[in-house]
Structure 1
Amino acid sequence: MSEEKSDSTLGLTLTSLLRARSLSMRKLSTLTGIDTATISRIVNGKQRAKPDHLELFAVHLGVPTVQLFQAAGFDVSMPRVDHPTDINTSINSIREILQASNLIDHQFTAELIQKELNKYEPYVLTEEGKRIILNEFWVKIANVNGTGPFIDELKKMYHLYCGDEITLEKRAVLGSALLYFVSSTDIIPDYVFPLGYLDDAIAVQLVLDRLQRDEE
């Protein structure tokens, strides 16, 4: 889609959404913190919307972020995954698409996810941490509808975490991925469908890599 056409499509989409929700550009500006003049230029095709703009519009207009990304001309198509358990291949394919589409930036890095995992490791060995995982894991699995290249791995991790024949160190590492999955602290928010569970998948990948290194 050409840049001119995509700007026009986004403008029409935003205009329709504002009208349907009885919102003015000024009100949307108040909700999002984006200057009214900037919103006006985006709606009128005089300024290209940034990913941050689109995410805020989606939240406050109540639509999937992917809808606005598509209207803005971003390629957000997902690769087909014939073998869901091949987690490394599938995650890398998705990341390449997102990076090519400029949909992830400094806010999304493996280093940030690893820092969260490190923070969770001691907590998941506590009674409170274990209770959160036991109470919320299957609820979150149900909410995801069992899809994603990382779901099977998460289920294996859960059963290992709950078992008796593993070391405390391994339980802490496994639990960090499980707690990241059930927690609301996401590098990519879950509402950014279909991108929202990518960081959960990468958290699983990081933990699998860590466990493999420890075994070696």
Structure 2
Amino acid sequence: MSDVKKDNKLGLLLKKLLKERSISMRKLSQHTEIDTATISRIINGKRKANPDHLQKFADYLQVPISELFIAAGFTIEDKNTTTQSNILMSVESIQNLLESSNLIDNKFSIASVEQQLSNYEQYVQTEEGKENILNSFGEKLKKIGSIGPFISQLKEMYEKFRLNKGTPRELAIVGSALIYFIVSVDVIPDYIFPLGFIDDAMAIQIVANLLRSE
């Protein structure tokens, strides 16, 4: 127990954030739907926060989730330097990891990512879809602390979409990847590190390949 308290970086960070924002543990509990006693134990180093706790803390306190994950002692790879071969590991390996960890129930497949992208192509051609991308892309980057595979490619795609550079078909394809990145309903939730960004990475590569074939 003393070891947990001694290296309680997350607890110290949460205390600092709550003090800066004049937020009580009770108020944090109300807005995150995490029991006050649980929050107290996490802050005091008597309990380890799980990814769901960290996601809710990050959302309410408006801090990059990566900052909380690092403070909590989770290992986070530098997604900008991760090679494509490492990210695009075999679908079977990803599925085995997810199943053994009991993290998600639905099956992971490239086809499921492709289907989502296809659905989003129609949406991004609407005014609502365009506004969603223009208004939400920057905020999503800020929320995750600008870490994630192929962030530079995402930024290039966003600029292409924002400046309307391309045919309607190309912009629809690009927009589908941007929406996939923005929305929280991924095949693999973003908070599952280091797997949480794999399907986003696959979506971007699928779109990049589609653009090359156009």
Is the alpha carbon distance of 1:74 and 1:5 closer, same or farther for their aligned partners in structure 2, counting shifts above 3 Å? farther
Q: Deviations over 1:194-214 (max 9, x none)?
A: x997654321223356789x9
2:85 to 89, 94, 100: 89
How far the C-alpha of 1:117 sits from its partner, in A, is: 1.1
Secondary structure at the aligned position of 1:74 is classed as coil
> In the alignment, which residue of structure 2 is the partner of 1:119?
119
> In the alignment, which residue of structure 2 is the partner of 1:106?
104
Q: Say if 2:117 and 2:177, in contact at 8 Å, map to a contact too.
A: yes
- Give me the whole-angstrom Cα distance separating, in 2, the residues matched to 1:118 and 1:207: 10
**Percentage of identical aligned residues:** 38
> In the alignment, which residue of structure 2 is the partner of 1:150?
153
Is the alpha carbon distance of 1:81 and 1:20 closer, same or farther for their aligned partners in structure 2, counting shifts above 3 Å? closer
> In the alignment, which residue of structure 1 is the partner of 2:130?
132
Aligned positions of 1:44-55 closer than 5 A? 44-55=44-55
Instruction: Report the TM-score, using the length of structure 2 for normalisation.
Output: 0.60
Q: Are 1:162 and 2:158 an aligned pair?
A: no
Instruction: Report the TM-score, using the length of structure 1 for normalisation.
Output: 0.59
Q: Are 1:175 and 2:172 an aligned pair?
A: yes
> In the alignment, which residue of structure 2 is the partner of 1:203?
203
Structure label with greater radius of gyration: 1
Secondary structure at the aligned position of 1:150 is classed as helix
Where does the alignment leave 5 or more consecutive residues of structure 2 unmatched?
none
Where does the alignment leave 5 or more consecutive residues of structure 1 unmatched?
165-170
Q: Say if 1:9 and 1:72, in contact at 8 Å, map to a contact too.
A: yes
Q: Say if 1:12 and 1:43, in contact at 8 Å, map to a contact too.
A: yes
> In the alignment, which residue of structure 2 is the partner of 1:58?
58
Secondary structure at the aligned position of 2:75 is classed as coil
How far the C-alpha of 1:36 sits from its partner, in A, is: 0.8
How far the C-alpha of 1:29 sits from its partner, in A, is: 0.1
Is the alpha carbon distance of 1:131 and 1:64 closer, same or farther for their aligned partners in structure 2, counting shifts above 3 Å? closer
Q: Say if 2:120 and 2:179, in contact at 8 Å, map to a contact too.
A: no
